[in-house]
Structure formats: C-alpha cells, structure tokens
Structure 1
Amino acid sequence: MILGKATKQCLPNGQWFVHPLLNTTWSNYSACEGAPVDDDEHDLISLPNPEVHLHRIKLIYSTGYGISLFALGIAIFIMIYFKRLHCPRNTIHVHLFSAFVLRAFLSFLKDSLLVEHLGLPGDVTMVNGTLIFDPNASHWECKLLFTIFHYIVLTSAAWVFMEGLYLYILVTVTIFSERRYIRWCTALGWGGPLLFLVPWVVIRAIVEDDLCWNTHPTPTFFWILKGPQIAITVVNLYFFIRIICVLFTKLVSTAPPRARKYRYRRLGKSTLVLIPIFGVHYLLTIGFPANMDPMVETIKLYFEMFFNSFQGVLIACLFCFMNGEVQSEIRKRYIRHKLRVNSRNFQNKLASTACSNMRPRTRPSSSPRLDSRELQSSSGSDNANGSVERQKLKIYCQPLRYYRAQIPNGVADTRPFIYSSDKKNSYV
C-alpha cells in the first residue's frame, strides 16, 4: 500500500521533465511511503529513498573534486616553480593537471549556480508552489555553461590520451622529436575537442533546444560527445596492453630466474600505476545499456562518480608527488633553506659575541676618587695596561677569513661559513 501522492512535471513543450543526473524522465515519489509498485521505468528513482542515494553520490563527487582541486593546484605550482622540472614530459603533465583543475572547478560552479539542477536563477520560475523552467527566457547563459563543461570533459579525456600516446612512444620508439610532439599535443589537446563539440552545439541549437542542454532526451545526439571518449578509452587500452607486454619482456630479459616473484610484483605495480593514467577503468561502464536494473544503475553511478572525481588526485600523486625527480628537487630546496637559516643564525651569534668582547669596561660610580699623587703613580701602570688592551683590540679587529665547507653538489649558494683570525691563539 502506498500513501501519498506522486508527481510528474510536464514541461511547456509537452514533454516530461528529464532529471539532469539520471538523464531519464523523473517521477517524484518523495511524498509516498515505500517504492511504487506499478512503475515501469527502470531508473534510480524507482529505488526506495532515492534522495538518499542522490545525496550520497553528490557527497562523493564533491569530496573527490575538492581533494583533486587542492592536490592538482599544488602539483601545478611545483612543476612551474622548479625550473629543473621544465621538460617536455612535465609540460604534458601540467596540461593534464590544468584540464582536471578546470573540470573540478566547473563541477563546483555548476552545482553552486543551478537551482534544483534545472537552470540558473533567471531560467526558472515558481508557479503554484512548483519550480518550472521558464519558457520565455533565452537561457543562453546556462547553455554556455554546460557547453564549456562538456568541452572541459572532452579536453580532460584528450589529455589522458596524450599522456598514453607519449608513454607509448617512449617505450616503443627509439628516437623522436619531443619539441615537435609537444606542439602537436598542445594543438590537439585543447583544439581537438572542438571538432566534436561544435557539431553537437549546432544540432542542439537547431533540433533539440531543450532546457539548459544539461539533459539528453535523444541519446543519438549525445553520442557525438560520448563516442570520442569511448574511442579514446579503447585506444588507450591498446597502448596499455602493448606497454605491459614491453615491460614484461624487459623484466624477463633483465631479472635472474630466481627473482621471478619480485619480477611479477614489479609488473603488478606498473600495471596498477598505468590503469588510472590510461583511464582503463572506464571500460567497466561502457558496455552498460541505457535502460537497466535500478540497482545496477545505482552501482554504476557510484562507480563513475567516484573515479571521475578522484582521478585528479591519483594523477597528481603519480606524476608529481611520487615522482623521484620532484622529491629530489623539494629535498634540495629544503636543505638550502635550512643551511641558509643556520648560516644566518651563526653570523648573528658571531657578531653579538664579537661586540660583547670589544665593549669597554666602565668604572663604577661608587668608586673613590684618586688624588693627583695616586694618578701620577698609576700612570705608568695604565700605560702598560693600555698597550695590552690596544693589542687585544687589534687582535679582535683583525680581518676575518672564511672557508667554505664542502657539502653535496647542487647546494653552493648558502654554505655555512667558518671564521678564523690572522693571529694565532686568537678566537672571536
């Protein structure tokens, strides 16, 4: 038995409302107790408590995109700040990081601007307590927002392909021009998605100009954007298999027979590292049909949102934070900073010690005055003592020499100084 009322929104163009997250027509059963018994639509909303799943999915990808945005920002700063890391390989990494940063940023921007996933505040209106899409507005702002979002999604997939292609060329090709390759990568990585985005925009504007282009009532049109992503995944799978074969061949030829267990362990680590780089995990969800069991659809959404959002932080860790070259540069910079601070502290202590030793001694005010005879009698001793004091002062004021300590190569600008005087047995 179902208590309550289920609602379904009919748009001004005569079509049912399509949920942006599910890409299917949506019936609101939130006022009912229990799941509907006569629902023939196989979507996520037919599950009990669908809002709970939608909230969890949103929490997952919000957390993933937030961590990825933070990690990728640090990775880009490291790659740009250290000049020794400027090379063609790291240039491709920076482009890939930038694409995923834009994807995470636009995801947060989209969620913060949209009202109930329908459109921007100027695109919706409230009629009889129900929020509907305003048919009288132009809606070009929200359409532009989703056009840019789809472009960034295609761009991130394109740069994943560039990473896989570059690694495949390094493994299989002996000699090639890296500078020329970087130029082609930059042009195809940022300009290639336009070859598929522009036809999709034209078709949506002429044939299917519905809502904010955040839904896809006709799946055929959406394949203009989805098809290239699937093709990139399939090609990356080919690169992945070829590289694994090459790595296995090299490990077999170099490792001794007794090290077979460690050889397979190294191969397994290399395989796990290459999976997020090539996006092989996308193959697990490509073959799913459009209409499937609600539970399977829910699992698919959880899986896709998790990997899509956390892929950025995985790539940042693999290409930057776990990179030995990056770790070496950070370690050198830390050593230089530590030596610079220690040298500055040593110089300050040295100056304070020298000044305290050269400070003249003053006679206490309470000492008794000497008469003229005592002053005359003590003049000879004062002259002798004064010569000794002047000699000490001369020793203190001797020009100091410094010797550079021998430290590891690469740290030559902030070495600590060891001071000594020209006079023997004189210390400052």
Structure 2
Amino acid sequence: IVISSVSLTEKVTKYCEEDGVWYMHPESNISWSNYTMCNAFTPEKMQSAYILYYLAIVGHSMSMVTLVISLAIFMLVRSLNCQRVTLHKNMFLTYVLNSIIIIIHLVEVVPNGELVKRDPPMCKILHFFHQYMMSCNYFWMLCEGLYLHTLIVVSVFAEGQRLWWYYLLGWGLPLLPSTAHAIARALLFNDNCWLSVDTNLLYIIHGPVMGALVLNFFFLLNIIRVLVKKIKESQEDSYMYLKAVRATLILVPLLGVQFVILPWRPSHPVLGKIYDFVMHSLIHFQGFFVAVIYCFCNHEGGEVISMKGAEVIPMEGGEVISMKGAEVIAVQGAAEVIAVEGAEVVAMEIIEQESSA
C-alpha cells in the first residue's frame, strides 16, 4: 500500500478486540488501521496551518487598532451621539474584546504545550469568555439588522427605539448558550483547556449563532425587497432608492450574512484551501472591514478624520469656518449621500422625505 503525503515521525494504530480479532471498520467491514496521525501533521498541512495562524493574528490586530480609533471617534464627537451610532459602538466593542481574547488564546495557549498539559482553570475561563464574546459579536450583528429592519420595513417613524431591548439581546442572551456550553463541557467532554473541536457540544454555541445569522440574512432580503418596491412605486426617487439598494449590499459584513451564503467547505483540495483562506480572511479581518466602511469611509466619520486638528477651513464664496479639534463635523449643509455610507444613512434620507410628504 502506497500512501502519499504522510509524516514518517507519527505512528499507525490498530486496535485488537478482547476476543483477539482486529477492529473491523463499520462501513467497510474489514480490519482497519488508523493512519489519521500520519496525515494530520504533514509539512503541507503544517504550512497551511501556520498561514491561517498568522492570518488570524494579523487580522485581529488590524481590526483591534481600527476599531479602537473608530470607537474613540464615535465617543468623543458629540454630534455622532444617536441610536444608530450607539448600536455601532456596542458591536465595535464586542469586536475589540473578542480580538483581544483570540490573540491571547493564539499566542499564550495554542502553541504552549506545557500549559495545555497542566490544564489550569484560567485556561478554561479564557475559553468561556472567548465563546461568550464571539456570541455577543454575532448577536450585536443581529441587533444592527433588527434595528435597520424596524427602521425601514416596520415603521418609518421608529427611529426612537427602546435600546434596552437591544442591550438585553446583545449582551444578555449570549450568556445562556455560553454558560450551558461551559457546564456541558465540564461534565461531558472535559478535555485540556477545552481546545478540542471534536465534540457536538459546540452546537450549543454555534446553533444560536447560526440562528442569528439566518435572521439577519432574511432581514437583509426583506430590506432590499421593500426598497425595490419603493423604486417601482416612485419613479422620481428611483435614483435614491437604487443607491439605497446598492448601499444595503454593503451591510453584508456588518450583518455577517457572508457566513450564511458560503456555509460549506468544498471537498476538493484546492477549492478547500481557497475557501479556508477566504473565510478566515472574512472572519479575522471583519472588524477591520466594518470599521473602515462604517467609520472611515462613512460620510460623518470621514469628515471627522479630515477635519481633525484643522482650525480654519475655507468655504465657498470666500467664507471661513473656525474649527477646534474633532468637535465640529458636517460643515456642509445637505451633503450628497454616497453609497459607501451604508443603507442606514440613505434610509434616513428616505424616511425624512416620506415623513415630510
């Protein structure tokens, strides 16, 4: 038997039953030798693992830096104090905390065999907070989708929503699956540092997360349906609604629906590697993409950055406006909305027009 791409340093196992007969594979019904470890750590697989490992560290580091800057802008600039930005701030905070925990886990736990062997309690506590913050991250994506869906689809006058429901959904609800997973893991699959992914108990976490992503996917489709319907009803405002539909598609990284669109890994080796690289890039750099799109490329946030530190800005007609730090934004009157701002800004213009009609 010739087996390609194996590690010669690992061992093959073959199990002898109590009656002296070799273990029979249930599918082939013939004696079975386990070559799993020989294929698990081949040079090719180790190279791919290292690429994904450093991709995760770089992605979460970049996400953390850009998100902290975005949070500073949102919190320091008083004119950005609204419900929409409040939701952004909470979701950005989950990204930051999740990135910090993941980097600690990847740097201090994963490569540290001695630590994993000792299995200290802090190791499992870190795992619990990792699962909790990951769940919070996706549930705050759901909060963003629910808020926008309520604003555009349910009622155009629902801008002043009660945010405590969103705090309960985003920070409170993830505690239930995270706690249930930790208890079940301690009782039923208590491996060292809870590093193993070879357990169905992870569905306690992944089930609610997938539910939140599927809900956001339907929110996105329904928002696009409503905007397309408005395009057909009002030819005069069709250009604005087209911009709204185009901008709504930019909500994909904010709502995390790319994970619903591409849920399964291809079995083909090359396609599988491409899938791994693309999905890991989307996961680890998602905070970076969200910060860039919804702060730095956003009309409001972009003006804060461009005006930071400026003291005098020339205006049309020879007028000047005095500035101090990042306190003043939106010096233009009714600035033209660009698609990259995201559907929520375009939707606000639509709401204002309809409410005044």
Q: Provide TM-score, normalisation by structure 1.
A: 0.62
Cα shift at 1:234: 0.8
| Aligned equivalent of 1:303, options 278, 283, 286 | 278
Once the two structures are TM-superposed, the CA of residue 178 in structure 1 deviates from its matched residue by 2.7
Alignment check: 8 A CA contact 2:312 2:320 kept: no
The alpha carbon displacement at 1:314 in A equals: 1.3
CA–CA separation in structure 2 for the residues paired with 1:89 and 1:271: 15
Match of 2:257 among 263, 280, 293: 280
Deviation at 1:208, TM superposition (A): 1.2
One-letter amino acid of the structure 1 residue matched with residue 139 of structure 2? A
State the distance in 2 between where 1:158 and 1:266 align.
27
- Residues 1:240 and 2:215 are matched in the alignment: no
Query: Structure 1: which amino acid aligns with 2:229?
Result: T
Output aligned runs, 1:143-222, within 5 Å.
143-172=124-153, 173-176=155-158, 178=160, 180=162, 182-219=163-200, 221-222=201-202
8 Å contact from structure 1 (residues 75, 316) kept in 2: yes
Letter of the structure 1 residue corresponding to residue 280 of structure 2: M
Question: What CA distance in whole angstroms lies between the structure 2 residues aligned with 1:282 and 1:157?
Answer: 11
The 1:145–1:44 alpha-carbon spacing in structure 2 relative to 1, beyond 3 Å, is farther
Distance 2:124 2:296 in 1: 37
Shift of 1:5: 2.6
3-state DSSP of counterpart to 2:193: coil
Task: Find the structure with the greater CA-based Rg.
Answer: 1
Measure the CA separation in 1 of the matches of 2:130 and 2:198: 18
Instruction: Quickly say closer, same or farther: Cα 1:212–1:238, change in 2 above 3 A.
Output: same
| Distance in 2 of aligned mates of 1:263 and 1:232 | 29
Q: 1:44 to 1:64 in 2, by over 3 A?
A: farther
CA distance in 1, matches of 2:60, 2:39: 23
Deviant stretches of 4+, over 6 Å: 1-4, 262-265
Q: Shift of residue 287 of structure 1?
A: 4.2
Q: Percent identity?
A: 25
CA apart distance, 1:159 = 0.6
| TM-score between both structures, scaled by the size of structure 2 | 0.73
Alpha-carbon contact 2:57-2:106 (below 8 Å) kept: no
Structure 1 gaps, min length 5:
11-37, 125-132, 343-405, 414-428
* Cα distance in 2 between the residues matched to 1:301 and 1:44: 18
Separation (CA, whole Å) in 1 of partners of 2:279 and 2:36: 22
Name the CA shift for 1:44/1:255 in 2 (closer, same or farther; >3 Å).
farther
Show the counterpart of 1:358: none
Out of 328, 331, 336, the position equivalent to 2:303 is: 328
Do the aligned partners of 1:57 and 1:302 also contact (CA within 8 Å) in 2? yes
Alignment of 1:33-182 (within 5 A): 45=40, 49-114=44-109, 116=111, 118=113, 121=114, 123-124=115-116, 133-134=117-118, 139-172=120-153, 173-176=155-158, 178=160, 180=162, 182=163
Deviations 1:162-213 (A, max 9, x none): 1111111111112336352x11111221111001111111111111111111
Aligned to 2:247: 270
8 Å contact kept, 1:47–1:295: no
Structure 2 residue runs of 5 or longer lacking an equivalent are 14-32, 326-357
Partner Cα separation in structure 1 for residue 157 and residue 322 of structure 2: 30
Q: For the structure 1 residues 252 and 45, does the alpha-carbon distance in structure 2 shift closer, same or farther, using more than 3 Å as the test?
A: farther
What CA RMSD, in Å, does the superposition of the two structures yield over aligned residues? 3.5
The verdict on how the C-alpha distance between 1:274 and 1:47 changes in structure 2, with shifts beyond 3 A counting, is: farther
CA distance in 1, matches of 2:59, 2:236: 42
2:63/2:288 contact within 8 Å kept? yes
CA contact (8 A) 1:151 1:193 kept: yes
